[in-house]
Chain A
């Protein structure tokens, strides 16, 4: 079965999974350039194409982390170069806010990163991805889905506890 060869966990060691949001005009094109130039970088990154980094809703980053990403990379045009004149600034604004929320949640700073990468900077895609993979490799898995399971269990446990308490109270009333 071909599938089994490629299933996660079959060849042992954990390695980070990074979701990236690249803008169509600069960073996505830069990643294409890295490809055309046959630069080699770590395969841990999966890119989602958006028209502009301004489209990156902080919720997307949270969703990615909640669904098992160990890191998130956002790539946009350099300041002043945005195809839509200023979407990247808006992205930066939200990113700053998001970083504070993430810090409060105990998510390490290096897991979520914003980079300005122009269409000519295939080399930078390679460098940033490799750097990020190495840094997150050191931090280890984020494992939020697993934590969700634990939290669900806790909640379930609490629920049962409360129900049994209520049951007892009703018994007492009777």
Chain B
């Protein structure tokens, strides 16, 4: 019995280490990366450069919040980059071609993104079509419609009030970074404070079990797709403001950066496990890696390769964590009838023999 207790104690200690590494490993990888780059470049850890890092990841990070929730629930949105372009083109048409106020353009661009997300969500969660196929269609389709609306022409000159969204700062932080922070704050409330984080986990891990417990396995992804479309549209409008241009190339390939940040952040690609804290660290990790490699004057192709390598490493960790999750808690922890007072202890050690 002492031996069993010792083993169980060692296992639980081990388990704690494992759980700690799982929760904080990426965070310390990020800290290591920051230390590494600050040694190689004295410019790296300066406030202007930190602002640059945060600004470059702000749009990706904004899209990663609903994106991570979708992946947690076993869905995916590959259309975010194209929906960003669609919102940008809609905005350009309303403001520069039709000469309406920029606020209306912003609202209509956002509405286009929300509508696109709602439409994809209905098809996926109520008609049961594959999320990858439908949003891959959206990846091609949204940019195609944007091209149709804008006829491929780049429009610009939206006025200083609109350009301030992407180009001005508040309390020494660029406005897009504040939008990013707001997205993570709302996401964190939904994920950790409200019960939806665990509901999404349940849907992603075992949709049938979630349904049998009364979780709405259709409406929740529908809302998330709508939110993802909205976040993509806001991202597209931020980029439009930064460039002061409504153009078709906005957001091209961005879905891959968003997915990379989410997966590096430890959200399981098959759904059912992940944390928004990890996604935040994953977003920063991508930004720091890209920025540091640029400062070290590394060829940008190698920078892309490094991000690809980080993604494959994250996928390998995902497999490892799933195994570590299953390290069983040893049995001496489980007793039946040990703590109920004033009740006779059932005989645990002997099977009562049937008569006959």
Partners in one complex: no
Hey, which bits of chain A sit against chain B, CB under 8 A? none
